[in-house]
Each structure stands twice: as structure tokens, then as C-alpha cells.
Amino acid sequence: MKRLALTLALALAGTAPQAHALGRLADVEIIDRTTGATLETHYYRGEYWVAGTPGARYAILIRNRLDERLLAVTAVDGVNVVTGDTAGWQQPGYVFDPLQGYEITGWRKSDRDVAAFEFTASPNSYAERTGRPANVGVVGVALFRERRAAVAAGKVAPGAVPYAGAPLAAAAPPAADAAVAQRQMESAAMSRAQLAPESVASAAPLPPKLGTGHGARETSPVDHTDFDRESERPNEVVRIRYDSLANLVAMGVVGGRPPPPPRPNAFPDSPPRYVPDPPGYPVRGLR
């Protein structure tokens, strides 16, 4: 199906996959924009988690691994990052050229700017402040391949406008930066050994879980293109959950194994493949 999508400026083309990247068609990472570091992924009971720092800006770094265009419909806290709608697979997303990489840094406000992603207490998150708290704490990237007929017919994207925003995956600032140095020391102090479940249980009550806030406006220009999806359903969905490190320890994601919390849905407005039967409707006619 052909739907409007956004094209991006070239960035990170041909770079190698990173250690904490997830995905088969594309590498997906969560980047701390202050330090430039990729947030470590923790695998727990079939899901991947990262620990965010309250107040830190972050980005979703996506690298197309294919030698063809790829559409990434991206959602944070169950909200489409382009339109602000409750997220569904059928919605607009970003189109990546072959082997292209790009940092999605915020909620898109126009063709020229975004409101930065920043970790914040869930009551201050964009999703919860717009009445949609059920899926706070999850990043979802639904990846679609392009229909071969469209590629063969030469229906490709126009050139993307030059990128004028912040550099991608910026190098960590010098240790002389007091704020960054303080954050680095705090992260080092919150090691697994020091944040064992016993120590958390005896500490002060845990803060609310993290969500993603609607931060400061930043320049991030895009262009528009058509993209003919190979199928209505994604070829791959990459899902990453997040919370503070203290909360991850308390939940057992890091260092323990209590029952997992309920799973939020990265794409709650996506339709099922087939129409379900009404409640109590008997199944007839099958042989």
C-alpha cells in the first residue's frame, strides 16, 4: 500500500552495526545524546530493556542494513513520533535509503523541527499528558520493505533536504564538563553489585517509572515521498522497553527475577489480521 512517508538526509551510511543494536532488517539503538553512548540492552523474559536517566535527552538511532529502501514506522510510549496519533502500523514513518542511518531525536512538530525526546517521570510524559498512559515505557519500530514492482518502475524518493540539526551520535564531552562528569560518576556508582535487590528494598521508595517528555524544539528538516509497502503488516517489529536503572533492578530486569510487569503495547491501534468472532458466538461450519 502506498502512503505518505518522510525522507531523511544521508547520515552514517555504510557504518558497521553497534554492540547494543537490535533488529534484523535494521539496527535499532537508544542513544544518550549528552554522552553519545549507546544505552546497554538487558534481555529479560523475552524482552529487551534499557535504563534511562531522568532529564537526559535521547535519540532512536536506526541504520538500514539492506541494499534497498526501508520504511520505519516509529512509536514511543504507544504514540507515533511523526503524527502524535495513538500508534498503529498503518501510519506514516521515516524512509531510509539503502544502508542509511539516522537519529530520530524527537516528536515531529513540522517538516522543519521536532520536540526533543527526554526521559521524565511518567506523569510528565507526552503520552500521559495527552491522556494515553497505558503504554508508557516502550519504543517500537515497525519495519516495512518496499514492493518490488515500485522499485523496478523507478518510483524512488526525491533527494532529501540537507540535514541541519545536531550531529549524530556526538562524541562524549570532555571530563572537565562538570555536569557530564557527575552523571558518569552516578552511572558508575549504580552498578549491579551496588544495586542488588536487597539494597533497593531497604532504600527509599522508588520514583515513578520513566516516560518520554515533550522537550525543547530542535531543527530537524525532512522531505516527503511515496512508499509502496510490500505488505500491510511489518516485515519486522523491534521493541525496546525502558525505565530507570533503580526500577529495572527492583523489577528483576537487572539482578533478580520477580514476576514481570504488564507489557505495554508499542502499536495499540494496529488492526488484527482477521475479524474476531463476537463474544459467545459458536464456531460452525469447520470440518
Q: What is the pLDDT along the chain (287 residues), one digit of tens a residue?
A: 444 466 554 333 333 434 468 999 999 999 999 999 999 999 998 999 999 999 999 999 999 999 999 999 999 999 999 999 999 999 999 999 999 999 999 999 999 999 999 999 999 999 999 999 999 999 999 999 999 855 555 543 333 322 222 223 333 333 334 343 334 433 433 433 333 444 434 445 677 899 999 999 999 999 999 999 999 999 999 999 999 999 999 888 887 655 566 778 888 887 666 656 666 656 555 54
Residue 279 within any structural domain of the chain: no
Residue 260 within any structural domain of the chain: no
Residue 154 within any structural domain of the chain: yes
Q: How many angstroms separate the CA atoms of 26 and 29, rounded? A: 10
Q: Considering only CA atoms, which of 3, 2, 1, 5 is closest in space to residue 160?
A: 5
User: pTM of the entire structure?
Assistant: 0.69
Q: What are the start-end ranges of the E strands in 45-198?
A: 47-51, 58-64, 70-76, 79-80, 94-96, 101-104, 106-108, 113-121, 138-145
Q: How many angstroms separate the CA atoms of 86 and 135, rounded? A: 10
Residue 282 within any structural domain of the chain: no
Residue 106 within any structural domain of the chain: yes
Q: CA dihedral defined by 224, 226, 230, 235, rounded to 10 degrees?
A: 10
DSSP 255: T
Task: Give the count of domains, the chain.
Answer: 1
Report whether 106 contacts 200 (CB < 8 A). Answer: no
Q: How many angstroms separate the CA atoms of 142 and 140, rounded? A: 6
Q: Considering only CA atoms, which of 143, 156, 145, 75 is closest in space to residue 108?
A: 75
Q: What is the DSSP string of 61-84?
A: EEEE-SSS-EEEEEEETTEETTT-
Report whether 155 contacts 148 (CB < 8 A). Answer: no
**Which grid cell sits at 245?**
536503572
DSSP 220: -
Report whether 39 contacts 30 (CB < 8 A). Answer: yes
Residue 124 within any structural domain of the chain: yes
Residue 141 within any structural domain of the chain: yes
Q: Considering only CA atoms, which of 75, 46, 50 is closest in space to residue 62?
A: 75
Domain extent for 150 = 2-251
Residue 277 within any structural domain of the chain: no
